[in-house]
Amino acid sequence: MGQAKFDYRCYRVPATGAFSLASIYPGDDQGVDEDYARKRLEKNLDDLQDFQERLYAEGKQSLLLVLQAMDTGGKDSTIRKIANDLNPQGCQVTGFKAPSHEELSHDFLWRVHDHAPPAGHIGIFNRSHYEDVLIVRVHELVSTALIEKRYRHINNFEQMLHDHGTRVIKIMLHISKDYQLSRLRRRLERSDKHWKFNPSDLQERSRWDKYMDAYELMLNQCATKHAPWYVIPAEKRWFRNVVISEILIDALEEMNPQYPPPKFDINEYPPDSLV
């Protein structure tokens, strides 16, 4: 196929106006040829390595990719595909589990801010501060009034990161309830996947509609110009991967990291003079 770019703008949640999850089909692939998509992904991953080196060398900006999804949504496999060839010196992946006793003794953003990527780095959150307006809302762990305030706290937090040089990209990996069921069954059918199955996942699955409501509220409250949300169809992994890579490449192109100038007179060190 001849197209140079994939259209991911249709998956971006508008910063103003109402957004419905029903508007995004989880199995969408835009009619793209899979072989072309895989080749395009290879090029994008090569470009991503180049951008990472420039970002690290420049040491002034950073990129944060936030991934949220229901169980079996593909967060781990997305990270493996996107970050596998990145230099680990300039890339950090943080997985947020249930908060510890110490973390619960602080505000909900305390444990998150410490893992924001420093200048020159790419950071990836496997789950994030958004758990505190998703699972917390579904399980009614705090009051609705406090959750409404947390949307504002999150927006202010991400604005602060943006103002200090961190580009924030947030992606919901969108799957259907039927797709989740097929992936859970796969975990039971394959012995090498048994470790990934947790009976508690079935309890969370029974709350599917509540989670979708919580996601929709969160997307509408926290999609901003400086920290956009994208709802990416995730049931076809090859399509998911290439679309996410396109989003990251375009963001890095806009950031335009540059190699710093040498701190010495290059003319004093001709290559042939080195022994």
- Indicate which CATH number applies to the domain containing 63: 3.40.50.300
- Closest-CA residue to 218 (of 23, 210, 232, 11): 210
The predicted structure's pLDDT at residue 196: 87
- On whether the CB atoms of residues 256 and 51 are closer than 8 A, the answer is no
- On whether the CB atoms of residues 224 and 25 are closer than 8 A, the answer is no
- On whether the CB atoms of residues 41 and 245 are closer than 8 A, the answer is yes
- On whether the CB atoms of residues 18 and 220 are closer than 8 A, the answer is yes
The predicted structure's pLDDT at residue 136: 96
- On whether the CB atoms of residues 51 and 153 are closer than 8 A, the answer is no
Q: Which three-class secondary structure state does DSSP give residue 68?
A: strand
The predicted structure's pLDDT at residue 107: 96
Ranges of the chain with pLDDT below 70: 1-5
The predicted structure's pLDDT at residue 275: 85
Q: What span, in angstroms and rounded, lies between the C-alpha atoms of 130 and 112?
A: 10
Q: Is residue 157 part of a domain?
A: yes
The predicted structure's pLDDT at residue 6: 78
Q: Is residue 259 part of a domain?
A: no
Q: Is residue 266 part of a domain?
A: no
Q: Is residue 148 part of a domain?
A: yes
Q: Is residue 272 part of a domain?
A: no
Q: What span, in angstroms and rounded, lies between the C-alpha atoms of 131 and 118?
A: 22
Residues 6+ apart with CB under 8 A from 62: 55, 116, 117, 118, 119, 120, 121, 122, 123, 165, 166, 167
Q: Is residue 108 part of a domain?
A: yes
The secondary structure of 94-115 as a DSSP string is EE--SPPHHHHTS-TTHHHHTT
Determine what percent of the chain falls in helix, strand and coil, rounding each to the nearest 5: 55, 10, 35
Structure tokens at 213: 């409501």
Distance of CA 1 to CAs 4, 29, 34, 80, 119, Å?
9, 14, 10, 26, 38
pTM: 0.94
Task: DSSP letter for 260, please.
Answer: P
Q: Is residue 83 part of a domain?
A: yes
The predicted structure's pLDDT at residue 111: 96
- On whether the CB atoms of residues 241 and 41 are closer than 8 A, the answer is yes
Q: Is residue 263 part of a domain?
A: no
Domain that holds residue 213: 11-253
Structure tokens at 38: 């895989």
Q: Name the domain count of the chain.
A: 1
Q: Which three-class secondary structure state does DSSP give residue 60?
A: coil
The predicted structure's pLDDT at residue 4: 53
